[in-house]
Structure 1
Amino acid sequence: MHRSPFPSPSRSWRRGGPVALVLTALALAAVPATATATADPAVRAGHCARMGHLRVPGAEHQQTACLAELTTAGTVASGHTDPADWGGLTPKDLAVPSGVPGIQIDGYFPDASTTNTNHGWNHDAQFVIRLPDRWNGGLVVAGTPGNREQYANDRAIADGALARGYAYAATDKGNTGLAFYRDGKAPGDAIVEWNERVTQLTRAARATIAQRYHRPPSRTLAAGLSNGGYLVRWQLENHPELYDGGVDWEGTLWRAGGPTLLDFLPKALRAHPVYAAGGEGAERAREAMHAAGFPAETEFLWPYHHKVYWDLTQRIYREELDPDFDGATEAGTPYCTTGTPACDTDYDYATRPEEVRQAVERIALTGRIGKPLVTLHGTLDALLPISQDSDVYARMVREAGRERLQRYYRIEGGTHTDALADVFPDRLRPLAPCYREAFTVLEAWLAQGYRPPASGTVALPAGRTAVASANDCSLDTGGAGGTS
């Protein structure tokens, strides 16, 4: 869910605007306009050294700040993050590390769209790069979940990475907000840009790091959740030369032959109201929900997801990939009932024209990862059901002959949004600590030749306190690990 309001149902915007995919040649870009700010009065050798000389290749604009604290323990107060951007993504008791001084660079690459209003720039392709004084030689790159902006991963991913000494870079993916589908000319353009912007930022961040520390990163890792997890998968499939590995936290699955959210969300929109109403047909509707991928154990989550996620998600992603379904209407009619003309509740991907599958193919995953990938997914995910997403992707990786490059952990009791674990602490566990553990597993796998715990289901521990659940997770599945 994004905080932006849903756009009005007008369609005069769309296919004539310029495609926002201006990717300037990094090494040959003109020097961008630069502003330098000092939040720490003691800029000296070793702390923010050479800050004024840093240039992000390809950036149209950047501003640089010397900060006493790069994690959210300091950036909330200094104004170098946006808490609204990461609201709801992590449990309230997740520990916040501190003690990471360094340089933050905010800026944007050339782009024609204007959905991101951060800094008053009204300019997309915004990024943030954080360079700690005490650097471990590595870089973590992230694209945002949902349709959020570049600070969305600051609590979930950036804090932990920075505390471990990594440099960190994140992008808004080139378009933001619930009307992200307005960006581009052809179906799929907006999501295609997501992938290109992550690639662009990775190259630029690596070059910026070489300026700051006088050597390129020795390790580059991709990390992300939800749509950000999809970006990790895509990068390791299409640009493995840029990365050493990645962590995929419940990544969205796109493949032309399905399943995708365009398959299972309309089924939920049809069945859930009948189930919720009770009476005749309720049990059949319940069975239809289970068949669509929403297991019985998630039934307590269905009312919330029907109200908040299913309808909105179906309409805006369908608009991006199949805009002709509802003619001149923009992103359908909210909560339309079955039988209403051009109603997303009745959407049937299998019967749509071939052009729709071609649009999905532009963003599709193959499973052909080229570098080690750790995937984790909650068994109680009621937005992207595990049987319709990561179970399928793990099979794709296996069928592509890349199984040795993946570890896949099914987290019992995890759901798509960690804030729900605060609401249902007796039924759910947050995934944030499991992500942090997956990150350490990947580090060991790459650095020491350590063989990670076998893929499998991670049992839900009994009798844990909320604080322990928010900060501790073992990925031991009982399978073989040890050294390779």
Structure 2
Amino acid sequence: MLPHPTPPLGHPGRRARTVRRTALTALSLAAACSLLVTPATAAPVGPEPLDAHCAGQARLHVPGAARQQADCLDELTTAGTVASGHTDPADYAGLTPKDLPTPSGVPGVQIDGYFPDTSTTNTNHGWHHDSQFVIRLPDHWNGGLVVAGTPGNREQYANDRAIADWVLARGYAYAATDKGNTGTAFYRDGRRPGDAIAEWNTRLTQLTRAARAVVTQRYQRPPARTLATGMSNGGYLVRWQLEHHPELYDGGVDWEGTLWRTDGPNLFTFLPSALRHYPAYAAGGPGAAEAEAALHRAGFPAGSEFLWPYHHQVYWDLTQRIYREELDPGYDGDTEAGTPYCASGTPACDADYAYPERPAAVHRAVDRIALTGRIGKPLITLQGTLDVLLPISQDSDVYARMVHQAGRGSLLRYYRIEDGTHTDSLADVFPGRVRPMVPCHRSAFTALERWLAGTGRPPADRTVARPAGADPATLLTSCPLD
């Protein structure tokens, strides 16, 4: 989740044509061309085939970008971009199972850059500039565009293994944003509570519009289909975009999106319970059974107990403190993001945070980023039943009801994935107890494709059972939804 430095784009010895563009260099190139080329001296040039390798690279311009660099690559997936310096493995570390296959054979153009912004948390490429993006344009295009925001507080390459590799291999153009702020101190961005999260939404909207324009430049026609997808905070963005900007998208796939509701549930209605009761549960003794029951009541499902130690160590405490600091910085006074692992009863301890009792201003801050369920385009939501960062009963179960209550149920399909959890790398740690979600996301994505094409409606909402006796290799590549 922390920002990580990335080497400069490109790699010594790697064959790549690079075009860097700023407003000044574009003007300089135009002036030079006016001096050197005249109708009398210009040689006739035929139109470049649209499927030629990196066709039109020099003319690509990302609207609104303060900086962009376009590179012609032999490989746009991580099969090539790791070696060429066009991704950062630290961005996606821990998000996918270690044996997830990597597709290859996708040449094309990659554009890296950033939009104007004042925050500097993203250190990728040594730029120290937020609102960084990546746009990938395969030579062999299927007519579609996939856009994504990142999970957690990660940088723009976070989806490269879980999402980008696969959609690029299917022929989609792909674009992703760092959401405008990164790292565990993301809450420092903005002037008032909620600003940093609100920026995530505007940055994905901004990138979608820009990427659609770039796709049109590259392929000489706009995308026939624009799809939004993402996991965790990226899934939240899918929901928000389809609620607020359905005109930009044809549909979306929401993978365990974070739920924000003004009246709850939200992170602040279940994470404090985990922090308050887990220590007694872990200690054993007379209070352990009562603490376990309290965790179950908070939404952490029975049968997920084996995942609690990891989440207490890695996620629950940090997540509660940094998001509470973003939306309710006054709770702990001058302290920044609380006191890690404070014991219940400690002054201003996040284990004792009571969201319903907080001032109206806090609820207004949450309301700025809250979801409504009023989606305007088809959405497929999926979440694992063993998710113990965002318990399914407090998240996607609720969001599905919200969509139906808003009268938009015909636009939604919802799949509860038995034994899936929030972080797919845990399938490597608990291979007999946790199934990876990534093949289920891909099944949902192809179901959305058929839905939009009119060639088949997705299966009805359901809990997708874990196949009896399936081995880890099968679970990594297969997830039938029906």
Normalization by structure 2: what TM-score?
0.91
Rate the CA distance shift 1:55–1:420 in 2: closer, same or farther, 3 A: same
The reply on whether 1:159 has 2:196 as its aligned counterpart is no
Shift of 1:159: 0.8
**Conserved 8 A contact 2:324-2:337:** yes
Q: How many residues align?
A: 445
8 Å Cα contact 2:439/2:478 also seen in 1: yes
Number of the residue aligned with 2:100: 94
Note if contact 2:145-2:227 (Cα within 8 Å) is conserved in structure 1.
yes
C-alpha distance in 1, partners of 2:455/2:478? Answer: 24
Displacement of 1:449 in angstroms is 4.5
What does residue 235 of structure 1 align with?
Answer: 241
| Aligned counterpart in structure 2 of residue 73 of structure 1, from 74, 79, 85 | 79
Gaps of 5+ in 1: 6-28, 37-43, 477-484
Q: Deviations over 1:417-468 (max 9, x none)?
A: 0000110000010000000111100000001252111111000112222222
Instruction: Pick from 105, 111, 118 the counterpart of residue 117 of structure 2.
Output: 111
1:244-259 correspondence to structure 2 within 5 Å: 244-259=250-265
Correspondence 1:26-425 to 2 at 5 A: 31=23, 46-425=52-431
Kept in 2: contact 1:30–1:58 (CA 8 A): no
What residue is the counterpart of 1:448 in the other structure? 454
Whether the 8 Å CA contact 2:2–2:182 is kept in 1: the answer is no
> Percent same amino acid at aligned positions?
74
Q: Distance in 2 between matches of 1:431 and 1:201?
A: 26
Report the Cα offset of residue 32 of structure 1.
7.2
- Aligned equivalent of 2:39: none
Cα pair 1:32 1:61 within 8 Å, conserved: no
1:278-304 deviation digits (Å, cap 9, x = unpaired): 112111111000000011210000011
CA distance in 1, matches of 2:255, 2:318: 22
Which residue of the partner structure matches residue 436 of structure 2?
430
Deviations 1:305-356 (CA, angstroms, capped at 9, x unpaired):
0011000000000000000000000000000001111110100001000000
For the residue of structure 2 that corresponds to 1:418, the secondary structure is coil
- Post-superposition offset of 1:96: 1.0
Q: What secondary structure, in the 3-state scheme, does the structure 1 residue paired with 2:53 have? A: coil
1:4 positional shift: 5.0
Q: How many Å separate the matches in 1 of 2:164 and 2:309?
A: 32
The 3 A distance-change label for structure 1 pair 33 and 303 is farther
Shift of 1:30: 8.3
1:340-381 Cα deviation digits (max 9, x unpaired)? 111101000010000000000000000000000000000000
Quote the Cα distance in structure 1 between the aligned partners of 2:75 and 2:307: 38
- Output the CA distance in 2 between the equivalents of 1:289 and 1:4: 32
Q: How far, CA to CA, are the matches of 1:314 and 1:342 in structure 2?
A: 13
Whether contact under 8 Å (2:131, 2:177) holds in the other structure is: yes
| Mean Cα deviation higher: 458-467 or 400-409 | 458-467
CA distance in structure 2 between the partners assigned to 1:436 and 1:194 by the alignment: 24
**Which AA in structure 2 matches 1:306?**
H
Partners of 2:475 and 2:98 lie apart in 1 by 11
- 1:252-282 superposed Cα distances (whole Å, 9 cap, x missing partner): 0001000001110000101110111111211
Secondary structure of the residue that 1:64 maps to in structure 2? Answer: strand
CA radius of gyration, larger in: 2
Structure 1 window deviating more from structure 2 (462-471 vs 91-100): it is 462-471
8 Å CA contact 2:3, 2:121 repeated in 1: no
User: Match for 1:89: what amino acid?
Assistant: L
Give the AA of the match of 1:212: R
Which residue does the alignment assign to 2:470? Answer: 464
Name the SS of the counterpart of 1:169 in structure 2. Answer: strand
**1:243 is matched by which residue type in structure 2?**
Y
Question: Any idea what the Cα deviations from partners look like across 1:359-416, whole Å, max 9, x if unmatched?
Answer: 0000000000000000000000010000000000000001001011000000000000
Equivalent-residue separation in structure 2 for 1:97 and 1:141 (angstroms)? 19
CA contact (8 A) 1:142 1:169 kept: yes
Unaligned runs of 5+ in 2: 5-20, 30-47
Superposed CA RMSD in Å reads 1.6
Contact 2:3 2:155 in 1 (8 A): no
Question: 1: CA distance between counterparts of 2:2 and 2:128?
Answer: 16
- Structure 1 residue 50: deviation in Å? 1.4
Q: Distance in 2 between matches of 1:430 and 1:32?
A: 48
